[in-house]
Structure 1
Amino acid sequence: MKFNTTIPKKLSPFYEDELRAYIKAYRAGDLQLAWNHLERAHIIGQRYPYNHTYVHWKMLQFGVRIKSSKEVIGQIPRLVVGGVKSFVGKIPVGNPGGANVAPLQAFPIDVELQNIFKKAGVSVL
């Protein structure tokens, strides 16, 4: 079993880019694009406890801001358990992290994100 602690230095900039893009889209009022960037940040950071938990925190805040009780309620268990699952390497690869999907369901990773993992020298599996 592999214990993950911190996001690799070569992957971190891509994660940070997604969070900056989220903020920019949110401030511009493009909520769909903002959410898409949170999902991408989740997929990039889901193997690393701090990054994984932080994205779920941002998703919870997003749910509060858009007044979505489904998202708020769905993010609470993800906040509690997500980081632990990352730490022990038991994550559903490709899961976008929102309350609209099952928390343990794996998803295919789109080609653009696969290329990010390749550039960073990180396996997607």
Structure 2
Amino acid sequence: MHRTFTQRVAGYVDAELSNAKEARSAGNPQQEFTHLERAHVLGQESTYWHVKVHVLMLAWAIRNSSVREALGQVFRIIGAATKTAFGMVPQGNTGGANVSPFKKMPISRDLAALIQKAKSGV
């Protein structure tokens, strides 16, 4: 059975989302957002994961009363839903409103290795 990138990267994205939930439960919103950013980098080449992580970032913004982040995420959800399938994503971008949605950013070695594993199907 041929699995897609979306399926192959799922475990890695889910692990970061689980870490985000743990940080939220521990009352650490900054750590929670850091894990959401890592999930974003991992899944941004998958429309499903890209949109899902931006929706979770929007929920984070609402819970933390960040109007700037919430507005930024609404814009990013639209972009993720309409541009990802065409490969129009800036690699490594962490997805928060604190960075331009068009800015390419370096990918940490650990995340780059996981992305490569998911792409190669290993």
TM-score w.r.t. structure 2 length?
Answer: 0.89
- Cα displacement (A) at 1:83: 2.1
Task: Give the structure 1 partner of residue 94 of structure 2.
Answer: 96
Distance change in 2, residues 1:50/1:118 (3 Å): closer
> What is the identity percentage for the equivalent residue pairs of Structure 1 and Structure 2?
37
| Matched position secondary structure for 1:42 | helix
Contact 2:5-2:119 within 8 A present in 1 as well: no
| Matched position secondary structure for 1:114 | helix
Structure 1: which 4+ aligned runs deviate by more than 2 Å? 6-10, 118-122
Task: Give the structure 2 partner of residue 86 of structure 1.
Answer: 84
Task: Give the structure 1 partner of residue 27 of structure 2.
Answer: 29
Aligned residues: 117
Q: Aligned AA for 2:61?
A: G
Question: What is the CA–CA distance in structure 2 between the aligned matches of 1:83 and 1:44, rounded to whole Å?
Answer: 16
1:36-67 C-alpha deviation (Å, 9 max, x unpaired): 11001101111111110111100001000000
Question: What is the CA–CA distance in structure 2 between the aligned matches of 1:111 and 1:97, rounded to whole Å?
Answer: 18
Task: Give the structure 1 partner of residue 7 of structure 2.
Answer: 9
Match of 1:110 among 105, 108, 111: 108
TM-score w.r.t. structure 1 length?
Answer: 0.87
Matches within 5 A, 1:31-70: 31-70=29-68
C-alpha RMSD of matched pairs (Å)? 1.3
Contact 1:48-1:83 within 8 A present in 2 as well: no
Distance change in 2, residues 1:9/1:82 (3 Å): closer
Farther off after superposition, 35-44 or 113-122: 113-122
* Structure with more of its chain in helix, by fraction: 2
Question: What is the CA–CA distance in structure 2 between the aligned matches of 1:119 and 1:50, rounded to whole Å?
Answer: 19
Contact 2:92-2:104 within 8 A present in 1 as well: yes
Q: Aligned AA for 2:88?
A: K
In structure 1, list runs of 5 or more residues that go unmatched: 1-5
- Cα displacement (A) at 1:7: 3.6
